[in-house]
Structures are given as structure tokens and as C-alpha cells.
Amino acid sequence: MLNLTHPHRVVFISGIDTDVGKTYATGWYAKHLMQQGINVITQKFVQTGCQSISDDIVMHRKLQGIPLQAVDEKGITCPYIFKHPCSPHLAAQLEKETIKEEVIFQSTQQLLQHYDCVLLEGAGGLYVPYNNHRTIIDYVQQQQYPLILVTSGKLGSINHTLLSLHACAQRNIPILSVIYNKYLDHDDRISQDTPLFLANYVQQHFPETAFITMGHLA
């Protein structure tokens, strides 16, 4: 689980790939922290494929059971929103914009003035580019944020999970937990084997990292 005494008040939430359930996991985890009495807010690194308020932020609030907040309506929880549903670097190029790290960082700092903890959800996997030179894992490493990794039982998830874990280890990014999203399970044999394999692997190779099934967060 999240170590609430950790000196970092920002936790980055990434997935092993796109459409793995990290938005769902972020909202569920925020609700879990709220139930512990933690004043928590979620933030989206960058949103593509929508307009106005981030679709993922809207989902977070629904899962938390709270209305949209003033910081959502002001765009602080997601300073970059692009229409085209594609990689952030391309979505920004199509609108002749540049995603600036300092804008995202300042948004996080603004939120920390009013909240105890910020859960910062990424876009896609760790190596998704947000400009022609930088990927999301570069930003996480630069800010020295601890990370929660979301995985599932979809085909290929074991490979993607292990690659993500070792990529973080190589960059000294602490992994607080791996969250297994059981809601994407469709094959009983895979859904029984995958979390068991991953839990054992994490325990053996990343003993400081917790393995959590999303159904246990409520």
C-alpha cells in the first residue's frame, strides 16, 4: 500500500500499456485514501482524445464519489488536453503546441498547497513520448516520484509488467505497488495464473513492492 510517511507527497500512477485500467485504478486508490482520512486529489499528466475537462479526471471523481472540483474546472488537474486520440507528442504537434514540463510541475505544486497527496496519472505506458525527446519515464525519474504500476490479465501483460518493473529499477524509481486490474479478465485460466505469477515475481525480485488486486481497494 501507499506509505503515507513517504517524504514524497506525489505518487505517479502508470500502466504497462494503454487501456490497462490505470484511470480506474487511480480513482479507486484515491477513494481508498479518502476513506483513510487523507486529503487527496488526482491529476492527469496529459489527456488526448477529448475536449474541455479531462475525461479521466471526470472518471476519477465518479469513482471517488465526489463532484468535479474547482481545480478541475480551472484546468489545474490537467493543464494539457488535446482533441486527437493519439500519443501526446503527436496530439500536441497537431494543435501546434508544446507540452512543457514546468507547466505540469507547477500544476502539481498548486495542488499540493491545498491537498496532502497528489496521485498523478500518466498517459499510456512509461515510454510514451510527450515531445520529440522525452518520455514519461524521463519525467518520473527527473522528479524522483515513487510509482504505482497498473497491470492486468490481458494477453502480453506479464512481459509488459516485467519490462516496466526493470525499467524503473534501472532508473532508481521506487515502485510502491503493482495494482492488478481484475476487471479486464476474460479468460479464467489466464486470470488465475497471471496474478499468481506476477505476485510471486514481485515478491521475489521487488520485495519492497506491494502487490494489490484492485478489488481489494474498496
Which entry of 44, 62, 96, 100 is annotated as an active-site residue?
Answer: 44
208 known ligand binder: no
182 is in an annotated binding site: yes
- Give catalytic status of residue 44 as yes or no: yes
> Binding residue per annotation — 75?
no
Residue 22 marked in a binding site: yes
Q: Is 18 annotated as a binding residue?
A: no
According to the annotation, is 172 in a ligand binding site? no
Q: Does the annotation place 23 within a ligand binding site?
A: yes
Q: Is 62 annotated as a binding residue?
A: no
- The three-state (H, E, C) secondary structure of the chain, written as one string: CCCCCCCCCEEEEEECCCCCCHHHHHHHHHHHHHHCCCCEEEEECCEECCCCCCHHHHHHHHHHCCCCCHHHHCCCCCCCEECCCCCHHHHHHHCCCCCCHHHHHHHHHHHHCCCCEEEEECCCCCCCECCCCCEHHHHHHHHCCCEEEEEECCCCHHHHHHHHHHHHHHCCCCEEEEEEEHHHCCCHHHHHHHHHHHHHHHHHHCCCCEEEEHHHCC
Q: Is residue 202 a known part of a binding site?
A: no
* Residue ranges at the known binding site for Mg(2+): 23, 56, 121
* Residue ranges at the known binding site for substrate: 48
Q: Which residues are catalytic?
A: 44
* Residue ranges at the known binding site: 19-24, 48, 56, 121-124, 181-182, 200
